[in-house]
């Protein structure tokens, strides 16, 4: 039964990591019923979803790497690096301060609801901006900061925070904003997973269920590959409104369950 729970957590992570509905929030809620997991577990299975995005964008990544001498590619790579470094540096600061994610459902539920309302307002505003696929420096900085905000407040959604930060600050094209947000997530999540793995291995690694972690990682990778492929097709002709409505309804349901004492 334990490994079935790992499969379920992998599926939840794979579906929710890149849809703007908060993977961390969904995992936190799921773990109330399926059993709590370590921070390393949650971060590493997120890396499984990142592996899926790496595979989906491998041509784009190869073009950037091989063609780094081209001004356009070099500029794009530089902005990816800026966003990543902002996240990495501030992430270490947050870690050193001993910040811990909330272990209760109510703050996650409020983040889902408020984030959903913000998404509706933000996309309405972004739709009025001139069409643009360019990535100005302010977008790179904002995406780096948005990743930190999403890490501090579970339920915010890293993808929602970064995509809408990009759209509101100049990259109004949904596809371009999504691509930049996802590509920044690749080094960010690999670095976070590597950090947690090294820390665990230094401690001997005896407390982690490596088999369960491996199962969840593989399931997360496969599920995320399907989910991201679907999302990239969906946003070509649809806005993010459906995800915002889902967040509001799901968050509202969690608040009712918390009030009734059915979740903590």
The two structure tokens encoding residue 161: 């925070």
Q: Are 166 and 182 in contact (CB under 8 A)?
A: no
Q: At what angle do helices 210-234 and 39-56 cross, to 10 degrees?
A: 40
Other C-beta atoms closer than 10 Å to the C-beta of 130 total: 6
Q: What size, in residues, is the chain?
A: 264
Q: In this predicted structure, what is the pLDDT of residue 102?
A: 67
Other C-beta atoms closer than 10 Å to the C-beta of 106 total: 17
The two structure tokens encoding residue 209: 């269920």
Rg of the chain over all Cα atoms, to the nearest angstrom: 18
Q: State the SS3 of the chain.
A: CHHHHHHHHHHHHHHHCCCCCCHHHHHHHHHHHHCCCCHHHHHHHHHHHHHHHHHHCHHHHHHHHHCCCCHHHHHHHHHHHHHHHHHHHHHHHHHHCCCCCCCCHHHHHHHHHHHHHHHHHHHHHHCCCCCCCCCCHHHHHHHHHHHHHHHHCCCCCHHHHHHHHHHHCCCCCHHHHHHHHHHHHHHHHHHHHHHHHHHHHHCCCCCCCHHHHHHHHHHHHHHHHHHHHHHHHHCCCCCCHHHHHHHHHHHHHHHHHHHCCCCC
CA dist 7 and 24 (Å) reads 16
pLDDT by position in tens, the chain (length 264):
579 999 999 999 999 999 999 987 888 888 888 888 887 888 889 889 999 999 999 999 999 999 999 999 999 999 999 999 999 999 889 888 877 666 688 899 999 999 999 999 999 999 899 989 999 999 999 999 999 999 888 889 999 999 999 999 999 999 999 999 999 999 998 888 888 788 877 876 667 788 999 999 999 999 999 999 999 999 989 999 999 999 999 999 999 988 888 777
CA angle 35, 211, 44 (to 5 degrees): 70
CA dist 23 and 19 (Å) reads 8
Q: State the SS3 of 228-253.
A: HHHHHHHCCCCCCHHHHHHHHHHHHH
Largest CA distance in the chain: 60
In angstroms, how far is CA 223 from the centroid of its own chain? 14
Q: In this predicted structure, what is the pLDDT of residue 215?
A: 95
């Amino acid at each position: 039964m334990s490994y079935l729970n790992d499969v379920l957590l992998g599926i939840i992570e794979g579906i929710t990591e890149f849809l703007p509905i908060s993977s961390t929030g969904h995992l936190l809620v799921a773990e109330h019923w399926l059993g709590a997991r370590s921070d390393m577990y949650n971060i590493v299975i997120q890396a499984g979803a990142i592996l899926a995005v790496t595979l989906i964008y491998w041509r784009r990544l190869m073009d950037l790497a091989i063609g780094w001498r081209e001004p356009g590619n070099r500029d794009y790579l530089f902005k990816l690096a800026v966003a990543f470094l902002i996240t990495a540096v501030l992430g270490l600061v947050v870690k050193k301060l001993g910040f811990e994610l909330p272990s209760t459902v109510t703050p996650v539920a409020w983040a889902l609801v408020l984030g959903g309302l913000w998404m509706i307002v933000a996309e309405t505003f972004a739709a009025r901006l001139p069409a643009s696929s360019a990535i100005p420096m302010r977008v790179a900085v904002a995406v780096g900061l948005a990743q930190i905000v999403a890490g501090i407040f579970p339920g915010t959604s890293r993808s929602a925070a970064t995509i809408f930060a990009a759209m509101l600050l100049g990259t109004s094209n949904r596809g371009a904003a999504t691509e930049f947000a996802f590509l920044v997530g690749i080094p960010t999540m690999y670095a976070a997973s590597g950090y947690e793995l090294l820390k665990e291995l230094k401690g001997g690694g005896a407390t982690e269920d490596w088999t369960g972690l491996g199962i969840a990682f593989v399931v997360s990778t496969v599920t995320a590959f399907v989910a991201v492929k679907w999302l990239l097709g969906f946003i070509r002709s649809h806005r993010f409104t459906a995800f915002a409505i889902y967040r509001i309804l799901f968050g509202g349901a969690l608040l009712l369950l918390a009030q009734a004492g059915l979740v903590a």
